[in-house]
Amino acid sequence: MATAVPLARVIRSDLQESVHLGHVAVCDPAGRLVASAGDPSRLVFARSSMKPLQASVSLAAMQDVDLPIRMLAVMCASHNGEPVHVRTVTALLRRSRLGVSSLRCPPDWPMDTGARARARGPRRALHNCSGKHAGMVVASASAGWDLETYLRPTHPLQRRVMKAVLAATGLAKVHVGVDGCGVPVHGLPLGSMATLFARLVRPERLGPIEPEVTRATAAMRAEPYLVAGRNRTDTALMREVPGLVVKSGAEGLACAAVLDTGLGVAVKIDDGGDRAAGPALIWALAQLGAVSIEALARLDPFVRRQVTGGGRVVGELSAEPFHLRSVRR
């Protein structure tokens, strides 16, 4: 088993204070490993990086529900809880005459500091996963499935999600746990996550949900602000490079698909440090030629994050210039 490699470093006052170790996998739509750093077989939970596929399954279950692109984008989101996100989530629920009370994600505070300062308290609509849950509720209502139990692995919607996960990864089975928002979460090798993302932009292998996957990823690229929001790597990357589909997950997981080449990229920070995942993902994409030198310069605030002390900048967290190992095929 390959060991983790340095993917990001923290320098404070000219002293290396922390090192984030992790792993990178790059796969093509056939599931072949193209390049890697560290251990591409490292087992991970997919967390919110699974949302584009989950949203596609929800969309496929909807009958006579016409969704604008903005609503489909927020179904794929780990959003900041800014007013535009909350408005879009509630508008999505109204499509099926549902309210926020139908959501089963826990009440939460906004991720965005400005929105958090204005919030009067935690609410379900403010949870970063409320768009995914709204899509699942609307899909269940449209298909005539029980709304109270859509979180259970045995629910018809979650059974369809599981079938899609297996098709998108090529695995015979995955480990099933409980995500932070309450839905089933899938445990699988990092390379399988990279394969899944490759197939999001080459969805021919996904069978009956191929049209919905195409719509979901197109919505993410068209409305990247609704996928995350202010000061978020996912939004910044998709705005800067329209040919990318980017979705981060909790515990230091970040994934992307490159439309031009059909490659999927998955990054895992071993210690779960989310702050390091974005810079590492951007550096990996730059090595693959998916992010140009000019775009990399414009993305510098997301590659090198300020470290402050006493209210002033005293250092930075930055991607370690690791090298992806090409894999002969």
pLDDT (tens digit per residue) in 207-225? 999 999 999 999 999 999 9
Given a cut of 60, is residue 329 above it in pLDDT? no
In the prediction, which pLDDT does 2 show?
A: 79
CA–CA separation, 189 vs 95, rounded Å? 37
How far is Cα of residue 81 from the mean position of the Cα atoms in its chain?
A: 16
Q: Is the pLDDT of residue 200 over 90?
A: yes
- Round to whole Å and give the CA distance between 97 and 269: 41
Q: What is the pLDDT of residues 100-148, one digit of tens each?
A: 999 999 999 999 999 999 999 999 999 999 999 999 999 999 999 999 9
Q: Which domains does the chain have, with CATH numbers?
A: 5-326 (3.40.710)
Tokens of 185: 């979460």
DSSP code of 22?
E
In the numeric block, which tokens belong to residue 90? 């509630």
> For residue 63, what pLDDT band results from cuts at 50, 70 and 90?
confident
Predicted confidence band of residue 327 (pLDDT cuts 50, 70, 90): confident
What's the confidence (pLDDT) of residue 1? 61
- Residue 12 bridge partners (DSSP): 15, 315
User: How many residues would you count in the chain?
Assistant: 329
Mean pLDDT (whole number) for 20-49: 98
User: What's the whole-number average pLDDT of the chain?
Assistant: 96
Segment 268-291 shows an average pLDDT of 97
Average pLDDT of span 65-91: 96
Q: What is the pLDDT of residues 284-305, one digit of tens each?
A: 999 999 999 999 999 999 999 9
pLDDT at 66: 84
Q: Could you give the residue ranges of the DSSP H alpha helices within the chain?
A: 51-61, 69-75, 83-94, 113-118, 130-143, 156-169, 190-201, 210-222, 224-227, 233-240, 274-287, 293-298, 300-303
Query: How confident is the model at residue 42, as a pLDDT?
Result: 97
Q: What is the mean pLDDT of residues 179-204?
A: 98
